[in-house]
Amino acid sequence: MLHPSYTDLVSVINSEVEKGEAPVVNSRYSVVLATAKRTNQLIDGAEPMVDSTSPKPLSVAINEMYQSKIKILTEDECKVEEVRMQKELKLREEALAKEMEDAARLAEEENEEEDDEDLLDTLEGASDEEEEKDVLEDASDEGEADVWEE
> pLDDT by residue (tens digit) across 38-58?
999 999 998 998 887 888 999
> What pLDDT was estimated at residue 1?
43
- List the one residue out of 37, 72, 27 whose CA is nearest residue 58: 37
Q: Is the pLDDT of residue 133 over 90?
A: no
- Look up the pTM and report it: 0.51
CA distances from 81 to 15, 75, 99 (A): 22, 10, 27
In contact, 142 and 122? CB cutoff 8 Å: no
